[in-house]
Amino acid sequence: MRLRITMTCSQAVNIPFNYQYQLHAAIYKLLKQSSPQYSEFLHDTGFIDRNKHLKLFVFSKLLLVNSMPCKTGFQNVEQAILYFSTPIPKSFEHLVLGIFSDQKILLNLCAKPCIFCIEDVETLPEPYFKSEMKFTCLSPVAIAGFSGETNGKHYYDYMVPSEKLAYINGLKTNLLRKYRLINGSEFSGDETFDFSFDPLYIIKKKGKIRKNIKFKSSHIIAMEAPFTISAAPELIRVGYECGFGINNSDGFGMSGVISG
């Protein structure tokens, strides 16, 4: 289930490059306006699989209409589009109710809050999922691998596509975990899996597809480029609905279909 939310500002505003945490907070505020209890459940616990806590929703970066980039961010923003996706009906329901209860999204970006008024909310049809599909990144994809253990606590490092085998295995393992949570059972289909970012796009960008995004007091390393994935359609659907990779509920790993 996917929403396309169009929103406008009453006057042009400037938005910094790093706004991910503020957008994350705004999404939770919308959920809380519908149900404080459900919002608290998602924030504190979520859906648990083998000691991993997942929220099973994803949202895009702000797709800014007719904005001007500058050294510190984007100038003269008047309109933005935001996508939200989840396979969990309750999350979808509470976000929609939260939107219509207030009809605005508040981003605390600087000393003066930025208020977007919601102009249109559209439920998008589900695409037809095939065993090979090409997607664009609506928000960058992050993957982390185990790096060590100290005093019983596990530590993870963000990975880059040059670590091809580990990167692909990380994406696949993550999708299988989400599938278990959504369906209540192990995936029993074809586990053939491959993933690659568009090499022509990488050349065009001179290899600069890596994003270092500040989120609260940490930095998340993620990649932003079109990609092709080959896998069982059921697993591709999971990635489309609740995000590819990790940190989905922080606004990472949302995709849009280019072709299939």
Q: Give me the long-range contacts of 182-188 (CB less than 8 A, separation at least 24).
A: 182/56, 182/87, 182/88, 182/238, 182/242, 187/232, 187/234, 187/235
| Residue 46, CB-side half-sphere exposure with 13 Å CA sphere | 19
Q: Are 197 and 159 in contact (CB under 8 A)?
A: no
Helices 36-44 & 89-102 angle (0-180, nearest 10): 130
pTM (predicted TM-score)? 0.89
pLDDT score for 97: 77
Tens-level pLDDT at each residue, the chain (260 residues): 898 999 888 788 888 888 888 898 888 888 887 787 777 777 777 677 677 777 888 999 999 888 778 777 888 888 999 999 988 887 778 777 777 777 888 887 765 678 888 888 899 999 999 999 999 999 999 998 755 555 555 556 787 787 888 889 999 999 999 999 899 889 998 999 999 999 999 999 998 999 988 888 888 899 999 999 999 999 999 999 999 999 998 999 999 999 65
pLDDT at 91 (0 to 100): 76
DSSP 152: T
Q: Which conformational region is residue 142 in: left (phi greater than 0), alpha (psi within -120 to 50 degrees), or beta?
A: beta
| Domains of the chain as residue ranges with CATH | 2-124 (3.30.70.1890), 132-259 (3.30.70.1900)
What pLDDT is stored for residue 229 in this prediction? Answer: 96
Give the model's pLDDT for residue 150: 58
Rounded CA gap, 73 and 71, in Å?
Answer: 6
User: What gap in Å lies between CA 16 and CA 108, rounded to an integer?
Assistant: 11
- How far CA 94 is from CA of 27, 65, 73, 192, in Å, comes to 11, 27, 31, 36
CA 125 to chain centre: 18
